[in-house]
Structure 1
């Protein structure tokens, strides 16, 4: 197996740090501190950050530095709306094109999510939830749509993680998965489309819950830093 380059290793570590909340939306990332942490030169750090900027996870400002991407309320709403439409398309295509092997993998991920939700292992649930959605992207058998879905999913990962911290959201998320899996299993593309759109679209009370969770997350980070 080929050894990962420093750039890939650092990029993956930073992706995880952003998703896990170590680097929260709006936080400045210090390249010199990263070079010390990873015991490397600034070059792979710079390359990794440029790759993260291309994925939408960070923004690089030439005179101010690098920051974890933080969306305004309007930008966040627009991106969740786009994500809902794209994932609905993925579910609709998956209902028509999924293979038996892919369906077995999807149902295995779904069962794992069930156990994690019951045990309230929220961080593990988030990781498995991402794998669940990736199964559906693959089952579209459309490489371009799969790539775009992964890109937007990655861009919204920090916010989707925070969303799962809302009270009872993990259990509701799992039950929404249930409807998606049933529709895909039955080959009902319209039901799969609707179930996935309803699952991903964040609006009304759910959007206000997300904003409240974001404010609470920011407050906790401020308190821990003081």
Structure 2
């Protein structure tokens, strides 16, 4: 197996663990442990960590090793504000761009998350949530907006995933999604944008609630 292939596979595996919340902000990314886990030398692991740092999922600390990226409260606030506006714009454009089968597909996708939301299936709802938001980006019909939103979402993914540790958060999130979908189906771009913006800012509050609970 070529070194590059090793790096790609390990980077994708670690990124998946970070994005899905198995590794949380601040968790160590120890070179020796990771090398042993994946059966490689520390050289490809160093390259993996460098690449994760480039996309904002890891933070390298001199003489102390790498950790899963964390943000200060101010940085989180600033990034979530940007994310909220990107997603609000995506929802607004969706309301005018989606028609016919596109609307039916979005409704079906939303309804597909009802079971996970109702049973508080955190892992299942996380996956559904990713698909739902990706569909909104794609439905905007603007490829640059979709690319930009996905990049910011990737940066915030470890923190967005924390929200589902809050009490009954999947169920509440699904209700918020319903308001977004209803506005898009009605063709009301402003209502769709407003509902999406409110949803993302609620996510920010939920992240704080989980962090405060974990400190008690």
What TM-score, normalized to structure 2? 0.88
Assess, with a 3 A threshold, how the Cα gap between structure 1 residues 103 and 42 changes in structure 2: closer, same or farther. Answer: farther
Deviations 1:91-150 (A, max 9, x none): 111111125444333222211211111122112101110110000111122222111111
- For 1:102 and 1:41, how far apart are their aligned partners in 2? 47
- Report if the CA contact (8 A) 2:20-2:157 is conserved: no
Task: Please state how far the C-alpha of 1:62 moved relative to its aligned partner.
Answer: 4.2
* Farther off after superposition, 38-47 or 181-190: 38-47
What SS is found at the alignment partner of 2:71?
Answer: coil
What SS is found at the alignment partner of 1:120?
Answer: coil
Please say if 1:79 is aligned against 2:46.
no
How many equivalent pairs are there?
213
**In angstroms, what is the RMSD of aligned CA positions?**
2.2
Deviations 1:10-66 (A, max 9, x none): 122112222343322112211221121111233432333222212211112343321
Partner of 1:97: 97
Partner of 1:212: 209
- Report if the CA contact (8 A) 1:80-1:202 is conserved: no
Partner of 1:224: none
Assess, with a 3 A threshold, how the Cα gap between structure 1 residues 189 and 15 changes in structure 2: closer, same or farther. Answer: same
- For 2:184 and 2:47, how far apart are their aligned partners in 1? 40
- Report if the CA contact (8 A) 1:83-1:201 is conserved: no
- For 2:52 and 2:23, how far apart are their aligned partners in 1? 13
Partner of 1:46: 46
- For 1:188 and 1:16, how far apart are their aligned partners in 2? 35
- Report if the CA contact (8 A) 1:137-1:149 is conserved: yes
Assess, with a 3 A threshold, how the Cα gap between structure 1 residues 110 and 168 changes in structure 2: closer, same or farther. Answer: same
Question: Which runs of no fewer than 5 residues in structure 2 stay unpaired?
Answer: none
What TM-score, normalized to structure 1? 0.85
What SS is found at the alignment partner of 1:40?
Answer: coil
Assess, with a 3 A threshold, how the Cα gap between structure 1 residues 100 and 56 changes in structure 2: closer, same or farther. Answer: farther
Alignment of 1:117-128 (within 5 A): 117-128=117-128
Task: Please state how far the C-alpha of 1:194 moved relative to its aligned partner.
Answer: 0.6
Question: Which runs of no fewer than 5 residues in structure 1 stay unpaired?
Answer: 220-226
